[in-house]
Amino acid sequence: MLLFKERIQKILAGIDISIDGARDWDIQVYDERLYRRLIARGSMGLGEAYMDGWWDCRKPDEFFYRIIQASLHTENRGIGHNFYKLISNLLNKQTIRRSLQVGKRHYDIGNDLYKAMLDKRMVYSCGYWSGNPPAGGLDEAQENKLDLICRKLKLKPGQKVLDIGCGWGSFAKFAAEKYGVEVTGVTISKEQAALAREMTKGLPVEINFLDYRKIEGIFDRIVSIGMFEHVGPKNYRTFMKVGGRNLKDDGIFLLHTIGGDYPDTNLDPWIEKYIFPNGAVPNIESIGKSVRGIFIVEDWHNFGADYDKTLMAWHRNFENNWDKLKERYSERFRRMWNYYLLSCAGSFRARDAQLWQIVLSKSGFPGGYESVR
């Protein structure tokens, strides 16, 4: 056991993290079995040990920022990551049947949780804090993001818009109210669909519980906000073909997705097991291959640093509202959810993960597309 501890201590000391230290990013170890678990299971062991209360940290986001900035998360993933990578390369983990798993296990957890954590419009994707002027809070950052998307899509009253992965209807409601468009939204979460219909009642909005591969109809505009991470690399080309099939020839498609520069698109094993089953983060190459011959890339906007602020705002809301939630959710769930939010914040802070908004057209926007920021 001592040998394992010395090895972990040496690794952490190399990036200025101490065991049982006094700084915000130092970890406090409550169970000595942690070290063997880290050596054997890498990032999976780290996350599960946190859920079990074996270690803690005053500011886990700062701990993860240092871990990820030093690339320790990719160098010490353990055998579990290699297993997930092998399965991903062999199988299509995001078939129509399997795609429902993330709806049931993540988005259907409980609308009360997401109401407590998110902004007033319930937007579950990165806010736009870095506009001009910068957003003063989460509600404003999400309003700015929704309006930014509408302006990038160049929406006009009466247009028909398809929202692939519509969540709780935040974009559909905003676009219908502010820009006078008709919106068809699709989601694979029954809880999202039910609340989205309630939130958009009386507006020209239709919400469908439907896999994107079954979408029918022709639309002036298509938008997908924070859904592409559930598509999977074996289906990226199919996803783009669906977009091409359902978009008018002079239409615009905006894709809002987390992305990374790394060649491995698999999620961290802990994130995949406990938060987003069957998830995958695209890279530039995979997106480029998927759109070839279907779309022209008109604009590529990265504001990944804003996701750090968004995640930290969600974490504050979650913690501030915990007393309202704890009767339905366990303390282990609380630690799991905090680990998810704060580890992701550290990833975006380290700029390991990015947030991309990509504007696509089928044959080139007439006269050239003018970028919107």
One pLDDT digit (tens) per residue for the chain, 373 residues: 668 999 999 999 999 999 999 999 999 999 999 999 999 999 999 999 999 999 999 999 999 999 999 988 665 544 444 544 555 555 677 777 777 899 999 999 999 999 999 999 999 999 999 988 999 999 999 999 999 999 999 999 999 999 999 999 999 999 999 999 999 999 999 999 999 999 999 999 999 999 999 999 999 999 999 999 999 999 999 999 999 999 999 999 999 999 998 776 678 999 999 999 999 999 999 999 999 999 999 999 999 999 999 999 999 999 999 999 999 999 999 999 999 999 999 999 999 999 999 999 999 998 899 999 9
Q: Report the pLDDT value the prediction gives residue 315, as an integer from 0 to 100.
A: 98
pLDDT at 79: 46
Whether 206 contacts 172, CB under 8 Å: no
Range of the domain at 57: 2-77
Cβ(299)–Cβ(361) below 8 Å: no
Domain match, 279 and 174 both: yes
Task: Kindly list the catalytic residues.
Answer: 344
Same domain, 70 and 142: no
Whether residue 118 sits in one domain with residue 25: no
95 and 50 belong to one structural domain: no
Residues 173 and 49 in one domain: no
Q: How far apart are CA 257 and CA 239, in angstroms?
A: 13
According to the model, what pLDDT value does residue 362 have? Answer: 96
Q: 69 in a domain, yes or no?
A: yes
Question: Does residue 56 sit in the same domain as residue 16?
Answer: yes
Are 110 and 191 in contact by the 8 Å Cβ rule? The answer is yes
The verdict on 62 and 181 lying in the same domain is: no
Number of domains in the chain: 2
First-to-last CA distance in the chain? 54
Tell me whether residue 205 is exposed, middle or buried, using C-beta atoms within 10 angstroms of its C-beta: 0 to 12, 13 to 18, 19 or more: buried
> Residue 130 domain-assigned?
yes
**Three-class secondary structure of residue 210 per DSSP:** coil
Report how far residue 265's alpha carbon sits from residue 259's, in angstroms, rounded to the nearest whole number.
9
Measured in whole angstroms, the distance separating CA 23 from the mean position of its chain's CA atoms is 29
> Per the domain annotation, does 227 fall within a domain?
yes
| 233 and 113, same domain (yes or no) | yes
Residues 142, 286, single domain; the answer is yes
Same domain, 256 and 349: yes
Contact 349, 61 (CB under 8 A): yes
Q: Does a structural domain hold residue 18?
A: yes
Prediction pTM value: 0.94
User: Which strand (E) or helix (H) includes residue 75?
Assistant: helix 72-75
Closest CA to 254 of 347, 136, 175, 139: 175
- Shared domain for 116 and 231, answered yes or no, is yes
β-pairing, 160-164 vs 296-302, is unpaired
Q: What is the pLDDT of residue 87?
A: 52
Residue 42 in any domain: the answer is yes
Structure tokens at 361: 């057209």
| pLDDT value, residue 94 | 72
Q: In this structure, is residue 301 part of a structural domain?
A: yes
Q: List Cα–Cα distances, 288 to 240, 270, 283, 370, in angstroms.
A: 11, 28, 9, 21
